[in-house]
Structure 1
Amino acid sequence: MNSISPNLNIMIKACEKASKSLIRDFGEIENLQVSKKGPSDFVTNADKKVEKILIEELLKAKKNYCIISEETGFTKNTDEENIWIIDPIDGTSNLFHGIPHFSICIALKSHGVIKSGLVFDPIKDEMFFSEKNNGSYLNNKRIRVSKKKDLNECLFASNGKKFRNVELAKRNTGSAALDLAYVASGRFDGFFQENLNIWDIAPGILLIQEAGGVVNKADIKKINDIEVITSNPSINEKMVKILDKF
């Protein structure tokens, strides 16, 4: 693989540091399932803890960059052209129920373009990352979208309620960020959902584009209420046609 940029290196290091507390917290979830208090407060605290570590690490390296984060919203700094986009835990419902399928997400938006993105699954130790014009990778191995051409053989992800009548084989995994990473790596063939937030999708859409996929809709100028339709190029036209019916 080509060498990674200093900014992506900062993102990876921040992610790895934050993941240590998240892995520890996940180990505690099973014990909390039987307690009277329950795990919801615990998960909220885990979310905030991960976010705090990420923000501290990112600002330590680039103190002037702005930040958009799920928990704290928009933090304005002097460099408004560079924005860290953070989702400390994508898939909190899975974490809450002790399901090992959630991720830490960071993207860098620079001059209106997503330049770097990563989605890290700390439990499976899978780091998906990409940089504009430099390809997409899973743990340093190059990844590409699937090559399937027959819709009947394809598997799609959709965590939203929209398109529920669509006759496509689909999964609801509870983590949009990992769904997009799985499309980039060819595990899923496509993804469609609406009402997403920028921190859910920013790293994933770059991963897919750099892995050779097509992203039809994903307005990165918006913060909330974003619709995403994406797939491998071979099935894209057919997929969009089916979704447009509904």
Structure 2
Amino acid sequence: MALPSPETLQLFLDVATEAAQAAGAVLKTHWGKLQSIEEKGRPGDLVTEADKNAEAVILATFRRHLPDHPILAEESGVIAGSETQYCWAIDPLDGTTNYAHGYPVSGVSIGLLIDDVPTVGVVYDPGRDRLYRAATGLGVTCNRKPIQVSTTAKLQNSLLVTGFAYDRHLTSDNNYAEFCYLTHLTQGVRRGGSASLDLAHVACGELDGYWERGLKPWDIAAGIVLVREAGGIVTAYDQSPLDLSSGRLLATNPAIHAALSAALQATPPLSTWSDVDKMATVAPLS
């Protein structure tokens, strides 16, 4: 992949920032005033007028500035463009369930894939008024100040975050065993409910690592850039190169990446959890 010039990347970053902040303003307007909450075919997969209106503002911004760039948007799907090496992955409201319940953990996620590689990322958290921005080679900031991943050196001292896919009711591959197992091996595992903010919190060092399955490109494209530019590592569960289409992601600071990967691969099935004392001996605590 050949990167555009730093000036072009900066332009893309500025357009994404404008779009994210405009969408965030829409989310603030709708906060606590929703008139319509619907399911999109899967239990718990919600959409509201805030999602739709925020996405409309984002798409309008891109039509003004980068009309030839293809877009993959959560609510609108694929929007074709002539500059086919680019694709913007957009989630206008990441954490809709939280938002619909008035739980203030949700945000706007806008990421640019260049030849399928996450390269520009903007995540805006309107609840905390935090703007995370990054582009490959240009660094990463939160509210215009540089950030970096944590320095936690051992898995046993880490604080992690994860999530659960919408199909968790229908499959045994639902992350429950991993959540319980890593809770035993660490100082805690949180469930935020917004993949883009989970990645942003890893990037700024508030959390040490994150894993999840069932993710879509619009959930994680922007956050991947944040973590990598903050000095973190983002891979598949087994440390192989990340495949966005797999829906699985492991993102951590460099020190605990191998240990968390090993723990995920060593997680015993829940059916074996009758002897809890044995659980802490299967994976390394380093």
Q: With the length of structure 2 as denominator, give the TM-score of the two structures.
A: 0.78
Give how far 1:173 is off. Answer: 0.9
Alignment of 1:156-175 (within 5 A): 156-160=160-164, 161-162=174-175, 163-168=178-183, 169-175=188-194
Aligned equivalent of 2:10, options 5, 9, 13: 5
Please tell me whether the aligned partners of residues 50 and 88 of structure 1 are also in contact (alpha carbons under 8 angstroms). Answer: yes
Structure 2 residue 23 is the aligned partner of structure 1 residue 18? yes
The partner residue of 2:130 within 120, 123, 126 is 126
> How large is the RMSD of aligned CA atoms in angstroms?
1.8
Instruction: Give the structure 2 partner of residue 36 of structure 1.
Output: none
Whichever of the two has the greater Rg, that structure is 2
1:57-206 counterparts in 2 under 5 A? 57-160=61-164, 161-162=174-175, 163-168=178-183, 169-206=188-225
Question: Match for 1:156: what amino acid?
Answer: L
Aligned-partner residue type, residue 205 of structure 2: G
**2:193 counterpart SS class:** coil
8 Å Cα contact 1:116/1:130 also seen in 2: yes
When normalised by structure 1's length, the TM-score is: 0.90
Whether the aligned pair in 1 keeps the contact of 2:179 and 2:189 (CA below 8 Å) is no
Q: CA deviation at 1:43?
A: 5.4
1:233 counterpart = 2:243: no
Rounded Cα–Cα distance in structure 1 between residues aligned with 2:81 and 2:189: 41
Deviations 1:102-143 (A, max 9, x none): 000101112332221011001211001100011111011111
**2-structure distance, mates of 1:153, 1:164:** 16
**In 1: Cα distance, 2:132 partner to 2:63 partner:** 22
Query: Cα deviations across residues 138-166 of structure 1 (Å, max 9, x unaligned)?
Result: 01111100001122221100112412332
User: What CA deviation, in whole Å up to 9, does each residue of 1:22-70 have, x standing for no partner?
Assistant: 10100425xx7xxxxxx51595111010001101111210111100011
Q: Which moved more, 1:16-25 or 1:157-166?
A: 157-166
The code of the aligned residue for 2:127 comes to: I
Separation in structure 2 between the aligned mates of residue 21 and residue 70 of structure 1, nearest angstrom: 17
- Aligned identity (percent) is 31
